[in-house]
Structure 1
Amino acid sequence: MLIILALLHSVAQNRNPELAEGLLEVNDLFNASANPDIACYRIPSIVTATNGDLVAAIDERVPSCEDLMGSRDINIVIRRSQDHGHSWSDIERVVDFPQGQSASDPSMIADEITGEIILFYNYMDLDREKDIYCLHVVKSDDHGQSWSEPEDITSQIAKEEWRKDFKFITSGRGIQTSSGTLLHCMVNLDHGLHLFGSDDHGQSWYLIDTPIKPG
């Protein structure tokens, strides 16, 4: 059976999708038209936990569809499936700061050795440090059922002189090498694309200072 997960659905797209030939099932996981308090869902990520569960994460953009610099209330929400995508849990907020602090652009790595899921996102405090991007992680050791408190890893993977730069961890997902190293990407619009990694399963992180810049 082929299952398509419609991870992102805008307010305007509230009609039932037509199934293409050979497509048996569509799951529309995040649809803002079902909740008048949500402006839109954006920037999806999905990962398979080590027990086979699927975990899908996305921005929950509350007052508007603006990005991090323009919205005072963006949360990270998830849904989980324990049956290969046939059914899903209710939407759960896993990162929800007070008004004026927003989190955006989720991405994940499932550590095949420890079983942990590491969820990355970008953070901004629009009242105290507007336009300052911070880089956070939360972790789950039970396949997405519960999550740790946020951890700020900005100082580990970004240089001090980059403090006011437009920088962000890319959305989607990172990878784990055959040796167990965790790798992910961060973009600095002034200094290029960088990899960052962890050799201790996310206990600490380091920047790989060999940027890739547009030609």
Structure 2
Amino acid sequence: MMSLLVYPQEEQASAKKQELDYINLFNAEDREDVSCYRIPSIITAQNGDLIAAIDERVPSCGDLKLSKDINIVIRRSDDSGDSWSEIETVVDYPLGRSASDPSMIVDETTGVIFLFFNFMDLDKEKDVYYLKVIKSTDHGKTWSLPVDLTSQITKPEWRNDFKFITSGRGTQTRNGKLLHTLVNKENGLHLFGSDDHGESWYLIDTPILPGNESKVIELVDGTWMINSRVKGNGERYVHLSSDEGKSWVSKSDPSLIDPGCNASLIRYTSINDGADKNRLLFSNARMRDDRKNMTIRISYDEGKTWTEGKTIYQGSSAYSSMTILPNGDIGLFFEKDKYRENAFVRVTLEWLTDGRDCYKKTK
């Protein structure tokens, strides 16, 4: 259970002075056999462990259809990010077949972690995308063999379309439904879901436009909200559905400027869970035309408006993924310095708000 407390003035002052500690979790410069690491995803397992997943791109930094050797690797932390395990490979196909774009969902009912990825056999089926998942029942220590979801969450006529599951993370609604986004460049953004804790999956066949890589969450009134990357207009798009994805109302959000880059959207607190306020968090490279200025912003009105936020890193920064740590801190995992580094950084709500909003988690 979450409890929110106001700290004394001296603790608010210390929050304003917090210095950020960037931990480079995946660095290709340390590996002679890896060209780069890209596409970060991070979640908090039910036992409190952090799981950070990413592409290990071996021959080049090219995306899935450009590289015959991309693996999915992870690092784990059991102390809220103070220390991390060695790099572990969780998806590794033979040369010619690649896996890319990790994303995760934690089922808070069962504790199972689902890790989704996109797959291609560049030797036998070049440019044909398959959508797959592995799962862990022990908080990320071990993982199942991949299961191909393509036939469940796409249509047969999409076979040769440019399609992919959005990297980063999906979500779980209050009734237990698992939800995630996938993009079909020819047929639009879609949602897919599961009502049986990941035993089976289905496509919600309502195209959502415009939208590229996207994040979906449930608002306190049950509305589904998608926040989307859109090419060319310098800002994000927001899509709202009050009927579980059957129909959508879409509009741009001029306050969320964006250079056309994957971002992160998560819930921090909800009055439905006993908190004093609803809080959403949004991270992205806050520029219109350049991947720089990684920023975290807060919404107290379910995404209608956003604070100016705090800059986490002024320099080159691109894809990002957030998670809530067991003590209520916010963990951000993001691409840094032209993809040379993939940094984890931990901040507090107090720091983000200069002490105006303070939080302490208790059981």
* TM-score greater than 0.5 by the shorter chain: yes
Moved over 2 A (4+): none
Which residues of 2 match residues 26-105 of structure 1 at below 5 A? 26-105=22-101
Cα distance in 1 for residues equivalent to 2:67 and 2:31: 18
Alignment-mate amino acid for residue 165 of structure 1: D
Cα distance in 1 for residues equivalent to 2:54 and 2:27: 11
Partner in structure 1 of residue 155 of structure 2: 159
1:126-184 CA-to-partner distances (Å, cap 9, x unmatched) read: 11111000000000000000000000000000000000000000000000000000000
Mapped pair 1:200 → 2:196: yes
- The number of residues matched between the two structures is 195
Mapped pair 1:146 → 2:147: no
Mapped pair 1:120 → 2:112: no
1:163-212 CA-to-partner distances (Å, cap 9, x unmatched) read: 00000000000000000000000000011000000001111000001110
Q: State the Cα distance separating 1:24 from its structure 2 match.
A: 4.9
1:54-93 CA-to-partner distances (Å, cap 9, x unmatched) read: 0000000001001111100000000000000000000000
Alignment-mate amino acid for residue 26 of structure 2: F
Q: Name which of 179, 185, 191 aligns with 2:181.
A: 185
Alignment-mate amino acid for residue 105 of structure 1: D
Partner in structure 1 of residue 345 of structure 2: none
Cα distance in 2 for residues equivalent to 1:22 and 1:101: 44
Q: State the Cα distance separating 1:25 from its structure 2 match.
A: 2.7
Alignment-mate amino acid for residue 73 of structure 1: D
Alignment-mate amino acid for residue 56 of structure 1: A
Report 1 or 2 for greater relative contact order, CA contacts < 8 Å, sequence distance ≥ 6. Answer: 2
Cα distance in 2 for residues equivalent to 1:84 and 1:192: 37
**SS across alignment from 2:151:** helix
Alignment-mate amino acid for residue 201 of structure 2: W
Alignment-mate amino acid for residue 187 of structure 1: V
1:3-56 CA-to-partner distances (Å, cap 9, x unmatched) read: xxxxxxxxxxxxxxxxxx622532110010011110000000000000000000
Unaligned ranges ≥5, structure 2: 1-16, 211-249, 251-363
For the pair shown, the structure with the greater C-alpha radius of gyration is: 2
**SS across alignment from 2:22:** strand
**% of aligned pairs identical?**
69
Cα distance in 1 for residues equivalent to 2:196 and 2:205: 19
Would you say the 8 A contact 1:116–1:139 is kept in 2?
yes
Cα distance in 2 for residues equivalent to 1:171 and 1:24: 25
Alignment-mate amino acid for residue 81 of structure 1: S
Partner in structure 2 of residue 15 of structure 1: none
Unaligned ranges ≥5, structure 1: 1-20
Would you say the 8 A contact 1:73–1:101 is kept in 2?
yes
TM-score by length of 1: 0.89
Q: What do you get for the CA RMSD once the two structures are aligned?
A: 1.0
Would you say the 8 A contact 1:191–1:213 is kept in 2?
no
**SS across alignment from 1:23:** coil
Cα distance in 2 for residues equivalent to 1:202 and 1:97: 23
